[in-house]
């Protein structure tokens, strides 16, 4: 079973309830996705490697921790993942950013790559893959397949909502990838939407409904 971290902080849960409401307008929805993205990033990055450096405070010299190693990489699954970019970068502004674009082949129902651009040397970076919804898990698994092929070894997946079906699919395909989410919802419906969920995240972030 992949590690699943549900961030049950009251601020996250309050903001998530606002997102779920069908009457929340696009402008507010987009802002809140960013805010929750920021708070989830805080949790997802809690074990980033640090090293000690010697600094001078106004009063003394001390050994102080700073982030070590290469800059982390954020990989957004297009297009809804982009709604979480700004929140992530507000916490970790030095992160490198990549994008994965996938569409579903309507005959095979398999995800097909149409865009892939990621930072170099992924093998030396902590990699965070973001997509608001872990529904069937098909695109998350395909995106993580691609970042692993590009060399990534240390990967976490950050989403706003996860369905049990998506967690199971990720667990089978990528048991080494921890999932950080604000909620594990009840189920998927027959159209692949998370229930109770929040609807189509991409449409609600970008106002394309
Ligand atoms: N993608 C969405 O945007 N919403 C869902 O409920 C499932 C997948």
Delimit the domains of the chain by residue range.
Answer: 4-45+73-206
Residue 108 has what pLDDT? 77
CB 166 within 8 A of CB 137: yes
Catalytic residues: 104, 108, 200, 203
User: pTM to 2 decimals?
Assistant: 0.96
Q: Does the Cβ of 135 fall within 6 Å of ligand 1?
A: yes
88-144 residue pLDDT tens: 999 999 999 999 999 888 777 788 999 999 999 999 999 999 999 999 999 999 999
Q: Is 201 in the pocket of ligand 1 (CB under 6 A)?
A: yes
Report the nearest-CA residue for atom 5 of ligand 1.
Answer: 193
pLDDT along the chain (209 residues), means of 10: 93 98 97 97 96 98 97 97 96 97 82 96 98 96 98 98 97 98 97 96 94
Q: What's the pLDDT at 2?
A: 81
How is domain 4-45+73-206 classified at the CATH fold level?
Rossmann fold (3.40.50)
């Amino acid at each position: 079973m992949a590690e699943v971290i549900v961030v049950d902080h009251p601020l996250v849960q309050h903001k998530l309830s606002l997102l779920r409401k069908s009457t929340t307008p696009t402008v507010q929805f987009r802002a809140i996705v960013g805010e929750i993205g920021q708070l989830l990033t805080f949790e997802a990055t809690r074990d980033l490697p640090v090293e000690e450096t010697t600094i001078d405070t106004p009063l003394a010299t001390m050994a102080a921790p700073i982030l070590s190693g290469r800059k982390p990489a954020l990989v957004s699954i297009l297009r809804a993942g982009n709604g979480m970019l700004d929140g992530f970068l507000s916490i970790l502004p030095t992160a490198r950013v990549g994008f994965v674009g996938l569409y579903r082949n309507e005959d095979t129902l398999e995800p097909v790559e149409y865009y892939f651009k990621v930072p170099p040397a992924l093998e030396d970076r902590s990699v965070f893959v973001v997509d608001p919804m872990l529904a069937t898990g098909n695109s998350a698994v395909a995106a993580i397949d691609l970042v692993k092929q590009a060399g990534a070894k240390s990967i976490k997946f950050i989403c706003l909502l996860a369905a049990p079906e998506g967690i199971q699919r990720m667990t089978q395909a990528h048991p080494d990838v921890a999932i950080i989410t604000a909620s594990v919802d009840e189920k998927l419906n027959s159209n692949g939407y998370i229930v109770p969920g929040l609807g189509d995240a991409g449409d609600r972030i970008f106002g394309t409904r």
